[in-house]
Amino acid sequence: MPTSERAFWIREPGAGEIRTEVLRDAGAGEVRVRTSFSGVSRGTELLVFAGRVPASERERMRAPFQAGEFPGPVKYGYLNVGVVEAGPADLLGRTVFSLAPHQTASVLPADAVTPVPERVPARRAVLAGIVETALNALWDLPVLVGDHVAIVGGGLVGSCVARLAARQPGTTVTVVDVDPARAALSAPLGARFATPDDAPRDQDVVYHASGTAAGLELALELLRTDGTVADLSWYGDTPVTLRLGGGFHARRLTIRSSQVGLVAPARRGARTTRDRLAIALRLLEDPAFDALLAEATPFDGLPGLLTKMAVGGRTGLCQVIEYGGT
């Protein structure tokens, strides 16, 4: 029978609320998932919360199971882990990851959920969508054995890139951020930390994930001649101005965009988005990723949490939402 469930909605830019909704039964080829944890993406979700999705990008930036329209009211989110309570026998009772929004339960197509490996705790599995973004970045701009790698921007995406890069043998990985407090995150990930003033130069590979023009300029400064920056940032409606009159042309530098909506060209003919997500979940067997998880916030506290994050009240850790007892 249909049940009353609860979901988080952005009522208008900067204001969220939890609403009660009627959730239908799962039909043929569908599953009903009871949410255990969800995660808040500090980058994209805060831009959505602030109403900063440009009109030209509103269709492209829709979450797979979004309800409503930008700038609001809109139900958004895409890092969801739960247990299948109705559906095909091979999925029944399994812990799965999906791109469902923040709500107590969801009815989804069965092929829209991916089983979480037994060795991956459900709480850690909320990082799957972020690790998938990082994996795609390394497919866009590979790290080779022995490379010197810099990641400008030590938030959640940058930290996941750092961990994957550090797993390549012989690499030296440095996370660069303006916030010295983020230094504590780097060591568990196998990376060094530097502020912009003491960041190493002549890097073989640089990833940019700060979401600022200043960060992208710094990323270019850190490259060796003929090097490439992979830009993972999404800037919303903020104009980006770069000073390219220095060494950009003389050193033959390149900026390459990296975005998770499509599989990177280097793997597009061999891997589907579903394959990529499954790989990301297997990578999360690595306990080092636990360093990125903040203490869980109860689901009822989500509106207040996003308000605090919007004014800079939280770090770049993954904000975990816990649904026990909701």
Q: How far apart are CA 169 and CA 165, in angstroms?
A: 9
| pLDDT at 2 (0 to 100) | 81
Contact between 258 and 139 under an 8 Å Cβ cutoff? The reply is no
Q: How far apart are CA 107 and CA 84, in angstroms?
A: 10
Q: Which residue has the higher pLDDT, 190 or 316?
A: 190
Q: How confident is the model at residue 246 (pLDDT cuts 50, 70, 90)?
A: confident
* Mean local confidence (pLDDT), 15-28: 96
Place of tokens 């790698």: 149
**Helix (H) / strand (E) containing 318:** none
Q: How far apart are CA 292 and CA 308, in angstroms?
A: 18
Q: How confident is the model at residue 102 (pLDDT cuts 50, 70, 90)?
A: very high
| pLDDT at 316 (0 to 100) | 59
Of the listed ranges 46-50, 57-61, 70-74, 112-116, the least confidently predicted one is 57-61
* Mean local confidence (pLDDT), 12-32: 96
Domains and CATH numbers, the chain: 3-123+293-322 (3.90.180.10), 131-257 (3.40.50.720)
Instruction: For CA atoms 61, 62, 63, 64, give the dihedral sign.
Output: negative
The tens digit of pLDDT for each residue in 105-161 reads: 999 999 999 999 999 999 999 999 999 999 999 999 999 999 999 999 999 999 999
Place of tokens 């054995």: 145
The tens digit of pLDDT for each residue in 206-221 reads: 999 999 999 999 999 9
Q: How far apart are CA 87 and CA 219, in angstroms?
A: 47
Task: Give the three-class secondary structure for 6.
Answer: strand
Label residue 84 left, alpha or beta by phi (over 0 means left) and psi (-120 to 50 means alpha).
Answer: beta
The tens digit of pLDDT for each residue in 266-308 reads: 999 999 999 999 999 999 999 999 999 989 999 999 999 999 9
